[in-house]
Structure 1
Amino acid sequence: MARDAFSALDSTQLTPFHRKVMVLSAAGMFLDGYDITVIAVALPTVTKQWHLSSFMTGALSASAVIGMFVGALVFGRLTDRLGRKKMYLVNLIGFVVFALIAAFAQNAWELLVCRFLLGLALGADYTISTSLLAEYAPAKRRGSLMTRLGATWFIGAASTYVFALLLLPLGHNMWRVMLVLGAVFALIVLWMRRTIPESPRWLAAQGRGEEANAVLTGLGDTGIDLTGPAAPEHNSPWRTLLSMPLLRMTFFCCGFWFMYTLSYYGITLYTPTILKQVTSSTTGTYVGSLIIALIGVAGAVIGVNLVDRVGRRPLLIVGFIGMFLALTVLALWQSPGLAGLVLLLGLAVLFANSGPGIVNLVYPSEVFPTAVRATANGLGTAVSRVGAIIGTLWLPTLINSSGLHRVLWLFVGASIIGLAIAAALAPETKGRSLEELSEEYSGSAATETVGR
C-alpha cells in the first residue's frame, strides 16, 4: 500500500536533521511574525509624521497581508510544481530585498508598495516551510514540530516590541533600523537553508524515485525502493481541492483559519494603537504590547506541548471558546483601563495561540495529499489573509466611527463561527501517517502511489 512506502521515515526517531529542518523552517516563521508586526511599531510614528488618514493607516497595516494573499496562492502552486527546496530558498531573497527597500521609504505610498512586495515572500513561506517540514517529520512528532512553527511566529512578533524598547532612543528612525535587522537575519537563514535536501515524498510523487531513495539513504533509512512512475494527475489541483471528497476539508481549513485571523490580526497589528486609547505613555504602550505578545507566546508553548498528547481537535475547540469568553467580557466592559485591557487582550491571544493559531499550520499539511499539499496550504493561507485584511484595513475607520467596544463584537462573532466550524468538522489526526490521512480524506491513494 502507498502508506507503507514511507513507514521507515514515519517511524524514525527525532534526529538532528529533523531539528535542523524545524529550526530553519521556524526561522522563516519568526521573520514572518517580526516583519508583519513591525508595522504596528511604525504606525504611531508614520501616522503623525506623514499626516495619514484612517484609511491610509489601515492600508499600510493591510498591505503586507494583501501581499501574503497573492504570494500564498501563487507560490503554493509553484511549490507543488517545482519542488519544496527551490522555493524554500527563492522566497527568502524577497525577505531580504523588500525589507531593505521598505526601510528607506520616504512616504506612505512607497512603504505600502514595499510592504505588499514583502508580503508576497511572507505568504510563500507559509506554504513552503509547512509542506517541507510535514513531509520530513515522524508521524508521532509531527504535531509538535509543526506547531513550533506557529510558536516561533509569535516569538517573532513579541521580539518586535523588545527591539522597539531597545531602539526607542532612535526616535522616528527606530522602525527603519528594525526592518534592516530583519533583512540581515533573513540573509543568514537563506545561507543556512541551502543544505536542506528536497522532500523525498515530493520526489516520489513526481516519479523521481531514485532521487527520493538517495535522500532517504542519506538520512539513514535503508531498504526502501521508491522507484516508479509519477502519480497520475486527473484534475487540476484547484479542482481537486474544490471537489468532493476534499471539499469538506478545504472548507474546514479555510473556514476556521479565516475566523481566527479576522480576530487575531485585528488585535495584534493594532495593539499599540488600541492601548494608546487608555494611556499617553509611549513606554507604557510598548510594555503593554510586549506583555500581550509574551502571553501569546505562552499560549503557543502550551499548544506545542499538548498537540501530540490531547490532539488537534480539542486544542482548536477550546481555543475558540477561550477567545469568545475573553473578547465578550472586553466588549461588555466599558472602561477596562490599561491593566484590564492588557489582561483581557492577553487572555484572548493566549487561547487563540494555544489552539487555532498553531493547528492552522498542521491541518492543511496533514489532510491533503502530497500532489496538492502546498497548493492547499497556499489556499488556506490566502483565505485566512482575507480575514486578516478585513481585521486590519477597516479597523481604524470602524473604531473612529463606532468605537472600540462595538468593533470587538465583530471579533466575538468570528470566534463563535470559528467554534461552530471546528465542532462540526475538525478531525483528529495525531499519530497517523500522511499517506493514511491522504487515503481517508481524498478517498483514494492515487495521488500518493509510488512503485516499490
Structure 2
Amino acid sequence: MSGASDASTATGTVTTKVPSRLDRLPWSRWHWMIVIGLGTVWILDGLEVTIVGNMASRLSEPGSGLPITDAQVTGMAAALYVAGACSGALFFGRLTDRYGRKKLFIVTLAVYLAATALTALSFSVWWFFLFRFLTGFGIGGEYAAINSAIDELIPSKYRGRVDLIINGSYWLGAVGGALLSVVALDTDLFAANVGWRLTFALGVVLGLVILLVRRNVPESPRWMFIHGRERDAEELVAGVERKIEREKGAPLPEPGPAITIRRRGSIGFLEIARTVFRRYPKRATLGFSLFIGQAFLYNAITFGFGSILVRFFDVPSGSTGYYFAVIAAGNFLGPLLLGRLFDTVGRRPMIAGTYILSGLLLFGTAWLFDAGKLDATTMTACWCAVLFFASAGASSAYLTVSEIFPMETRAMAIAFFYAIGTAAGGISGPLLFAELTESGVVRDAVLAFCIGATLMVLAGIVAVLFAVKAEGRSLEDIAKPLSAEAHESAAGAAGPGSDAPGTESGGPGRT
C-alpha cells in the first residue's frame, strides 16, 4: 500500500513515494473535505467584490453614511482592493513556501475576517479605503496558500477540473453577493446607512464557518518531506490511505516510482527569479499573458457592470443585483461544465480556446452595444456568453502557474504572477474603466470592452505557443523539484531541460 521514505542523515536526502501515492488515490470523502475547506474562500471573494460593485450607486447617494462618489467606489476602492491582494499575495506567498501551506491559509483567512468586520464599521472614506486594501491583502494571501495546497493534495487525474471549479466558485459568491445587495439596498427593510454594513458583517459570519472547516485540512505532505518532516508526511499519507481503503472496501493500487530529493529550507528571491525567468522563460511568458488578460477583463469591466446598467440602461440601482446574479451563474457554469475537458482534451487547446473565444465574443458584444442594439436584458445575455468561456480561462490561469514551476517555488510563483498580472490589469483597469463609464459616452465604454477583448485574444495566442501539456501528469514530472535536480546533478545525472523541446510539449520529459 505505501512506500516508506528512506532518509539518509549523512547526505540529507530523502527517497519517497509520497507524490505517487497521493496521485494514485481514487476520489474520496477526504478529497471533498479538502475542496470544501479550501475552496470556499473564493465564495467570500466573489461576495466581497460583487457587493461593493453593486452597491456603488447606493453608497454614493445621500444618507449612506459615507461621503463617497460612485467613481471612488468602482475606481479607487476597487483599485485599492486589488493592490492589497497583490501585496498580500507577495507577502504571504513567501511565507507559504517557507512555513507551510496550512499555517498560512489559516492566517490569511483571519486577516480577511478582521478587515471585513472593520469595513462594516466604516465612518469615513479613508477608513473604507484602508480596510478595502487590507481585505484584499488577506484574499491575496489566500490565492498563494490555497492554490499550492490544492494542487499538492489532489490526484493528478482530477487536478485540472478541481482547480478550475474551486477557482470558479468565486462566482457562487458573486451570485450570493448580487442577491444580498438587492435585499440590503431595499430601504423598506434597512436604512440606507445600515444595509450595506450588514452585508459585510455577513461575510464575517461565513468566514468564521469556513475557518472551522479549514482546521481539519492537513499540511501538504509534499511540502513536509522537502522541509525535513518526511516522517510526518509518511504518517499523514498512510492515514489517508487507510481511510480510503475502508471507504472503498478494496486495497489501493501500487504507487508509481519514488523520487529522491535533498532536504532544504526556504529559497531566496534570487533563486526563485532565476528559476522562473532563466530556466522557464516560455512558461513565465505564458503566466504573465494569462493573468494580464483575465485580470483586465474581470477587474476592469465587471467592477463597473452595475454602473453600466444604471447609466446606460436606466436600471434602478437597487435592481442591478438581479442582472449580475444571472451573469455570475453563467460564470460558474463555465468552469463547472468545461473543467473536465482540461483533463481530457488537454490544457493547451482548452486554455487557448477559452481565451480566444471569450475575446471574440466580447468584440461582438462591444459592436452590438456601440450600434445601440442592446438593452439591459440582451446586454446581460451577451455577458453570460462571454464570461461562460472567460471564467474557465481565468481559472485556468491559476491552475497553470501553480503546476508548471518547481514545488519549492510554487506559492511564490502563484503570488508573483498574480501580483504582476493583476496589478497591470486590476489596478489600472478599474481606474480607467471608472472614468470611461462615468463619462456616459457609449464609445468610451466600448473602448474598454475592446481593450479587454484584445488582451484575452493575445493571451490565447500565447497559450497556443507555450501552454504545457500537464493533464494527467504528476507535479514532479511537469517541473522536477529543485532539490531533486540538485541531488541528480550531484550524482552525475542529467536533469531535464526546463523549456527545452520535449518537456514543454510532454515529449521525453513525460512519463
Q: Secondary structure at the match of 1:377?
A: helix
Give the alignment of 1:7-18 within 5 angstroms.
7-18=20-31
Counterpart for residue 371 of structure 1:
408
Residue 181 of structure 1, CA deviation: 0.6
Q: Secondary structure at the match of 2:345?
A: coil
Q: Determine if the alignment matches structure 1 residue 101 to structure 2 residue 121.
A: no
Tell me which of 253, 270, 276 is aligned to 2:287. 253
Runs of 5+ consecutive residues of structure 2 not aligned to the other structure = 1-13, 243-251, 489-511
Tell me which of 326, 344, 367 is aligned to 1:309. 344
Max radius of gyration: which structure? 2
Residue 320 of structure 1, CA deviation: 1.6
What letter is aligned with 1:363? T
Is this contact kept in 2: 1:70–1:120, CA < 8 A?
A: yes
Residue 348 of structure 1, CA deviation: 1.4
What letter is aligned with 1:341? M
Residue 199 of structure 1, CA deviation: 0.9
Residue 92 of structure 1, CA deviation: 0.9
CA distance in 1: counterparts of 2:290 and 2:74, whole angstroms: 27
Residue 5 of structure 1, CA deviation: 4.8
Q: Determine if the alignment matches structure 1 residue 349 to structure 2 residue 384.
A: no
Tell me which of 437, 448, 452 is aligned to 1:407. 448
What letter is aligned with 1:446? E
CA distance in 1: counterparts of 2:366 and 2:437, whole angstroms: 13
Residue 113 of structure 1, CA deviation: 0.4
Alpha-carbon spacing, 1:44–1:200, altered in 2? closer, same or farther (3 Å): same
CA distance in 2: counterparts of 1:282 and 1:399, whole angstroms: 15
Tell me which of 282, 293, 297 is aligned to 2:328. 293
Counterpart for residue 378 of structure 2:
340
Alpha-carbon spacing, 1:206–1:344, altered in 2? closer, same or farther (3 Å): same
Q: Determine if the alignment matches structure 1 residue 218 to structure 2 residue 218.
A: no
Is this contact kept in 2: 1:265–1:391, CA < 8 A?
A: yes
CA distance in 2: counterparts of 1:198 and 1:57, whole angstroms: 37
Q: Determine if the alignment matches structure 1 residue 382 to structure 2 residue 399.
A: no
Q: Deviations over 1:346-397 (max 9, x none)?
A: 211111012x222122112211111110001111211232111122122111
Q: Determine if the alignment matches structure 1 residue 158 to structure 2 residue 175.
A: yes
Q: Determine if the alignment matches structure 1 residue 328 to structure 2 residue 366.
A: no
Deviates more, 1:194-203 or 1:394-403: 394-403
Deviates more, 1:37-46 or 1:398-407: 398-407
More helix by share: 1
Tell me which of 164, 167, 176 is aligned to 2:197. 176
Alpha-carbon spacing, 1:385–1:2, altered in 2? closer, same or farther (3 Å): farther
Identity of aligned pairs, percent? 25
Q: Deviations over 1:261-295 (max 9, x none)?
A: 10122222111111112123335422211111111
Is this contact kept in 2: 1:151–1:301, CA < 8 A?
A: yes
Residue 83 of structure 1, CA deviation: 0.6
Counterpart for residue 433 of structure 1:
474
Residue 37 of structure 1, CA deviation: 2.1
Alpha-carbon spacing, 1:131–1:86, altered in 2? closer, same or farther (3 Å): same
Residue 38 of structure 1, CA deviation: 1.9
Deviates more, 1:333-342 or 1:89-98: 333-342
TM-score using structure 2 length? 0.82
Tell me which of 367, 380, 395 is aligned to 2:433. 395
Is this contact kept in 1: 2:81–2:134, CA < 8 A?
A: yes
Counterpart for residue 495 of structure 2:
none
What letter is aligned with 1:24? G
CA distance in 2: counterparts of 1:7 and 1:59, whole angstroms: 47
CA distance in 1: counterparts of 2:455 and 2:16, whole angstroms: 37
Counterpart for residue 398 of structure 2:
361
Counterpart for residue 209 of structure 2:
188
What letter is aligned with 1:40? G
Q: Deviations over 1:315-362 (max 9, x none)?
A: 2112122222221112222212212211212211111012x2221221
Residue 2 of structure 1, CA deviation: 7.2
What letter is aligned with 1:429? A
Tell me which of 293, 299, 309 is aligned to 1:275. 309
Counterpart for residue 134 of structure 1:
151
CA distance in 1: counterparts of 2:136 and 2:75, whole angstroms: 15
Q: Determine if the alignment matches structure 1 residue 64 to structure 2 residue 81.
A: yes
Tell me which of 252, 256, 263 is aligned to 1:230. 263
CA distance in 2: counterparts of 1:55 and 1:105, whole angstroms: 15
TM-score using structure 1 length? 0.92
Runs of 5+ consecutive residues of structure 1 not aligned to the other structure = none
Alpha-carbon spacing, 1:42–1:233, altered in 2? closer, same or farther (3 Å): closer
CA distance in 2: counterparts of 1:56 and 1:135, whole angstroms: 37
Task: Tell me the matched-pair count.
Answer: 446
Counterpart for residue 132 of structure 2:
115
CA distance in 2: counterparts of 1:250 and 1:130, whole angstroms: 18
Is this contact kept in 2: 1:327–1:348, CA < 8 A?
A: yes
Alpha-carbon spacing, 1:358–1:51, altered in 2? closer, same or farther (3 Å): closer
What letter is aligned with 1:264? Y
CA distance in 1: counterparts of 2:474 and 2:145, whole angstroms: 19
CA distance in 1: counterparts of 2:49 and 2:123, whole angstroms: 19
CA distance in 2: counterparts of 1:176 and 1:227, whole angstroms: 53
CA distance in 1: counterparts of 2:259 and 2:457, whole angstroms: 46
CA distance in 2: counterparts of 1:327 and 1:125, whole angstroms: 30
